[in-house]
Amino acid sequence: MIEREIWVLAGTAASLGLIHTVIGPDHYLPFIVISRARNWTLRKTLFVSFLAGLGHILSSVVLGFVGIALGIAVARLEGVESARGEIAAWLLIGFGLAYFIWGMRRAWKGKPHTHAHLHGCDGAHEHPHSPEHGVHEHVHSHEKAEHAHLHGEEKKANITPWVLFTIFVFGPCEPLIPLVMYPAARHSTAGVALVAGAFGLATIATMLIIITAASWGARFVRLGKLERYSHALAGLMIFVSGLAVQFLGL
């Protein structure tokens, strides 16, 4: 039988999970901007976000159970979580910067331009060429090579969901460890599961709700000529969110 105090603690855990997610832009901003830049479907965006959120929660739960089994004090576990937070923040900063640079390089290579062509006595004329999104108004050997090059870069960028997942696994859930230690100290396995489940459910649900709402709104945003810089802008926003986490404690 789960005691009344554990139910109160579970409610507190759910509230903290919600707040912890809302005030942490790293919980949703990377998925929103990457989804917009890479034209992911909402289903794919939510699936990637769910897996990352699950990894985020489970890593702290596993750490908490290990600490409980080994009798490690809360202060030491919180120190480990803090170190993990530092690693995750710098990984986010590094990923954002790398993605920004890749996005700028891709945008530059995808810059619309013209080619002059000679057609016998008709003289020379120009054909517009815009490799962005794989559109070719006039195909020749140079364009095919450029098109293949851009698709090669796209394949390299397909590791993006796994990078986000890895960063989230490193990311700690700071409030979770102290919450699960109380029912653990009372030898209540059901209490530990309830508290961890409430925190995890609130965290992931909040992530998915924010991402769904923002992704729906982003469909109406038109960048116009800046569209080809969408990847660079996504990287820049991830970079800034990483800085906010690292230096502002968000």
Q: How far apart are the first and last CA of the chain?
A: 37
Average pLDDT, the chain: 79
Which range has the top average pLDDT, 58-62, 126-130, 205-209?
Answer: 205-209
* DSSP assignment letter at 224: G
Q: Say whether 113 sits in a helix, a strand or coil.
A: strand
Nearest to 20 by CA among 171, 180, 156: 171
Q: Round the CA-based radius of gyration of the chain to a whole number and report it.
A: 24
Above 50 in pLDDT, residue 138? no
Q: Which are the contacts of 221, defined by CB distance < 8 A and separation ≥ 6?
A: 36
Mean pLDDT of 36-61: 92
pLDDT at 150: 46
Residue range 2-13: mean pLDDT, rounded: 85
pLDDT over 90 (residue 205): yes
Burial per residue of 68-87, b for 16 or more beta-carbon CB atoms within 10 angstroms, e otherwise: beeebeeeebeebbeebbee
Range in 13-22, 97-106, 172-181 with the lowest mean pLDDT? 172-181
Residue range 229-233: mean pLDDT, rounded: 90
pLDDT confidence bin for 132, thresholds 50/70/90: very low
Say how far apart CA 226 and CA 125 lie, in whole Å: 28
Q: Residue 15 pLDDT > 90, yes or no?
A: yes
Phi/psi at 126 (5° precision): -115, 150
pLDDT of 102 higher than 60: yes
Alpha helices in 39-140 (DSSP H): 42-70, 74-109
